[in-house]
Amino acid sequence: MSHETLTVRLGERSYPIHIGPSLGGLIRSDLAVLASSKRPVAVVADFNLSVAQPALLSETFAGLPSLVLPSGEATKCVERLGEIWRFLAQNRLDRGGVVVALGGGVTGDLAGFAAASHLRGVDLLQVPTTLLSMVDSSVGGKTGINLPEGKNLVGAFHQPQAVYADTSLLATLPPREFAAGMAEVLKYGLLADGNLFAQLERDPVNSHTHPALPALIRRCCEIKAAVVAEDERETAAEGGRALLNLGHTFGHAVEAVAGYGDYLHGEAVGLGLVLAARLSQELGFIGAAEVDRTRAAVAAHHLPVRLRKPLPVNKLLDVMARDKKVRQGRLRFVTMSSLGVAQTTSGVEPTLVEKLWREAGAE
């Protein structure tokens, strides 16, 4: 079957996103080109992926040194980063070398940061294997790790040379992970495409067999590619790449306070989208009907709309104060002026944020 290719347009650093089923042949062909140029390649892979798709490592990446890391958000840490650095050094990955990130968002972010920093930067290929990483994290060049103090507080911008979104791999993705990926699809509808959001309202996508899924993946990549091309390093004073963080200021706080791994990233983002809608309502941007629609769509995709168990509100607020979008000590959120149009909003009062957390089940 054929695949589609989009381009992230960044001048001389532009790169393709290949989307479609059974991309193993394409990947092997591209690896053969690297081998003919005597460029060393090393693979960093996710454990669950290696178990669910053993042929991917044994056939597509046969003969290449590979490091398989434990699955889950807790792997995105300083210690595992050091493990990858040593793996790359031991396998003599020189400045012509290429790191392959084979897994979901955790693997892509972690291996991407290792590639950005090994020998001050080597090339990277992203092979996302979860829905969330296909529609979001593998595209755009953000890499990084978590600290106990907060999510993604250390990292680098490091664009890949190519992204291979092989939709066949979604057949073995657990339902909970699939739902987590749909949180990012909902996010794209809410921030940039009201028609996409309305489509998901009418016809929730809860399986890899849903006929609309390939087009959804392509649309999300189109939106992200356009935003990244305009504001690659998130330097726009308002709007820009920061809009891609709709729901994430709330969601990252949930992940950090609950303990990395208690909530999947997409689950925390799903809850964050509901809270972002409520914040938008409180600020007078949207009405109660839009909040209800957001909440219903999140729930229809099997994502949480409230905290599963109470979390301390003071800790949630403390983590938010260290969020990357904070400017001059002031909280900065992504809000919605309508379903499908997002904006950045500064100067939100902490008392209002506390009120929303308590509504969501914090204490």
pLDDT of residue 1 exceeding 80, the answer is no
Find the helix or strand (DSSP H, E) in which 100 lies. Answer: strand 98-103
Q: Which of 118, 252, 278, 325 is catalytic?
A: 252
Q: Look up 309 and say whether it is catalytic.
A: no
* Average pLDDT, integer, range 138-161: 95
Q: Is the separation of the CB atoms in 228 and 139 below 8 Å?
A: yes
Is there a contact between 256 and 321 (Cβ–Cβ < 8 Å)? no
- pTM here is 0.95
Lowest mean pLDDT among 87-96, 205-214, 215-224, 322-331: 322-331
The residues pairing with 145 across neighbouring beta strands, listed in sequence order, are 154
Q: Which pLDDT tens digit goes with each residue over 233-286?
A: 999 988 999 999 999 999 999 999 999 989 999 999 999 999 999 999 999 999
Q: Which residues contact 348 (CB under 8 A, 6 or more apart)?
A: 279, 283, 331, 332, 333
Given the residues 177, 184, 255, 267, select the one marked as catalytic: 184
Determine whether 245 is an active site residue: yes
Catalytic annotation, pick one of 158, 245, 278, 332:
245
Alpha-carbon distance of 132 to 128, in angstroms, equals 8
pLDDT digits (tens, 9 = 90+) for 39-48: 999 999 999 9
pLDDT tens-digit readout, 171-181: 999 999 999 99
Given the residues 187, 218, 248, 332, select the one marked as catalytic. 248
Is position 248 annotated as part of the catalytic site? yes
Q: Is the pLDDT score of 204 beyond 70?
A: yes
Catalytic residue among 151, 158, 219, 241: 241
Can 83 be counted among the known catalytic residues?
no
Q: How far apart are CA 10 and CA 14, in angstroms?
A: 4
User: Residues 22-36: pLDDT tens digits?
Assistant: 999 999 999 999 999
**Position 91 pLDDT exceeds 80:** yes
**pLDDT tens per residue, range 93-114:** 999 999 999 999 999 999 999 9
Mean pLDDT of the chain: 96
Active site residue 301: no
The pLDDT value given to residue 322: 87
316: which 2 tokens?
Answer: 């949630």
The most confident of the ranges 259-263, 309-313, 331-335 is 309-313
Answer yes or no: 184 catalytic.
yes
Q: What is the largest CA-CA distance in the chain?
A: 61
Residue 252 catalytic?
yes
